[in-house]
Amino acid sequence: MTTVPEPSGSATLNPVQMSINPLAGRTVTDASLNTSNVATGPLEKRMQYRGVYHHWFYRKEVENKVLWHPFSMQDSLRLEEVHNSSEITPETTVATDGGRYDVDILRRLRSPVYWSGPSTEVRRCSWFFKGHTESRYVPYDESTAAKLEEEYKQACLLNVWNRRIDLNNGEYIIVHSATVQVHYLTTTSPELAASWGNSGGAGSRPRVIKRGLDEFHIEDGEPEKVDHLLFLVHGIGSVCDLKFRSVEEVVDEFRSIALQLVQSHYRTASQQGIVNRIEVLPISWHTTLHSDDTGIDKKLQAITLESIPKLRHFTNDTLLDILFYTSPVYCQTIMQTVGNEINRLHALFKQRNPNFNGGIYLGGHSLGSLILFDLLCHQKPLSDSSSSENDTENNENRDEDANSSQSRTNRVLKRRLSKKISYVVGAAGTGQPYIHYPQLHFHPCAFFALGSPVGMFVTVRGIDMLGEDFVLPTCPAFFNIFHPFDPVAYRMEALIHPDAPKYQPMLIPHHKGRKRMHLELKETMARVGADLKQRVLDSVKNTWNSVYQLTPFHRPDNSALEREIDKVVEEQLQQTPTVPDQQTNDDGGAELKIGKLNGGRRIDYVLQEAPFEYINEYIFALTSHVCYWESEDTMLMMLKEIYGSAGIQTDTQLPQQTLTIERTSPSPSLSSSSSTKCDGSVPVVPVMGMNPTTPISEKPIGPPPKSGFVRKS
């Protein structure tokens, strides 16, 4: 809106002048407005009035505080278009937030689509207020905003300000000028009564009023096209982090981080329309487990002691979920809930996105990863049937004469290895109970375990080694991601390959493209210590050889001398930091083949701890278990695996000489980003921006070009 300052020749009206002014405080319609009857002096100028822009907001409660968040620009324009349409009906709804929420415009309600939750209020906003104790502007209700806008319009057209607007609750608003409007409270207002500086009456602490959206940051909106779909299953308890947020809230942040990383690390592919966004949907099972249908909460309440009630409630609501999963009754409830929810959301998503043809991925945090692991172990390929399995067994029986007894036994064990994870039989009736596992309606492309105790549970169930032939029947890829200080996380590679404990987990790169400084310093000191030790050994040996050259008649045995020198120097330098016994990733860890579970690739991936976490690992042990929801490094690794399976790389992985997306022949030397497809085969989609005839150096030459520029060789 373009505003013109008040004329310098006109005086500001006081309340007395305003009371005798027939135009003050009165609503004047456009039909009754006659500019010829308004006396104007030579210095008087009328404001150029422009209608206010209306933006849609939705109400949200955060930590018992009511906050109003603006819809994205794309969603608000869509809502405004439907609002102004003449064909709107009570059944009309508008999909917002990437299709995760539907807005009923007539009822002004916003409801979630994929999960159950309360409907929240929405408003078509244009005027806002902010009290002296508030940090954010709050929108007026639509009727008050319409009244304010009408008074503002008449003040601009008539150039008559200081207009008073009385509200129904005894409060009033005065439009002093085009830029100054104040909301005065009454002495009975809760906000004013709670203030300590109420000596000046009702006008001592008024509210500041704002017209328009100057104080708000409005997002452009999410891309409409969805490239891939990711389901995330939560762990124990009804809250997922130390902020006491539900799985829907933490997944919202996880999705937001994914969108930001796509826009920052896949900028080139995003500008070309190759990369859009990944939809992340939460899978909740805790509510069903603790519902009235199971009655578990009432049973626990009857046997729970009355002392330390808060701690006992936390135990019943959170920690006992681990024991419930080992129960044959409640384990069936949990597994059935997770399987049914995944299938339901998958069908609903396909219905709302009929053109979706991307991959589907699964992810689980803590106990959620164990639930998905057991579920995937008991999946049957969609094309398989009992008859085909019987045919396979009959064919093997016919080939018995052509194979030795030992080979036949190994082959049967390999085929039945996944069924070993059913854990039906136990020495004392313990282990995983026998339950019915629901079948998913799709084959997931990969499974991401975050802070997973799968390795521990498999070991406790009595399985020493899964073997290199162990696979998930319908999922070709498995990634075990964990924080180094996470007390609940365990490695998986040691259960697959016997030599895996000799190698460190694969280090997940920092999302800013470098290793954290304290880790680099730690490795540097280890290398310096080892080099210093070797140099001291060489120096001492050379000195002793020089001494004995002066006494040619007495020369000791060189081998015995070297052993004595090594012994002395080792004792003196035993405190020197050395390279760890485990081999680092640069020593061949990346080339280690870990069975068939992940197509031969590494399974364990460790995050880099932050510098302040390195100070004391015990202090940050609890926070490290819930850090994955806010971890850019975790999400970036998942993006690289998801998009890498289609041959799409980040901007930093593309050659610096050619930043345009080009479709070329596939390169045989693909790194971790070129994973397997959903069916387990090597991807045939070429790598974007890769030229197989041009050798790629390990480090790019020169700095990367600035954002927005495309440079060709």
Q: How far apart are CA 392 and CA 214, in angstroms?
A: 70
CA distances from 698 to 267, 268, 531, 644, 653 (A): 22, 21, 24, 18, 10
CA distances from 165 to 27, 147, 151, 159, 520 (A): 10, 8, 8, 17, 65
Q: What is the DSSP letter of 315?
A: I
Find the distance separating the first CA and the last CA of the chain, reported in whole Å: 47
Q: Which of 114, 379, 346, 382 is nearest to 228 (CA)?
A: 346
Q: How far apart are CA 126 and CA 142, in angstroms?
A: 8
Choosing from 270, 366, 369, 624, the catalytic residue is 366
Write the CB contacts of 70 (distance below 8 Å, at least 6 apart in sequence).
55, 56, 57, 76, 213, 216, 218
With b meaning 16 or more CB within 10 Å and e meaning fewer, what string describes 208-220? ebbbebeebeeee
| The two structure tokens encoding residue 529 | 């210590």
The SS3 call for residue 166 is strand
Dihedral of the alpha carbons of 401, 404, 405, 408, in degrees to the nearest 10:
-90
Write the CB contacts of 460 (distance below 8 Å, at least 6 apart in sequence).
none
Does residue 143 have an active-site annotation?
no
Write the CB contacts of 669 (distance below 8 Å, at least 6 apart in sequence).
696
The type of residue at 281 is L
The residue written with tokens 């073997």 in the block is 467
Q: Which of 269, 364, 353 is nearest to 638 (CA)?
A: 364
Dihedral of the alpha carbons of 151, 153, 156, 162, in degrees to the nearest 10:
10
CB 325 within 8 A of CB 331: yes
Point out the residues that are catalytic.
366
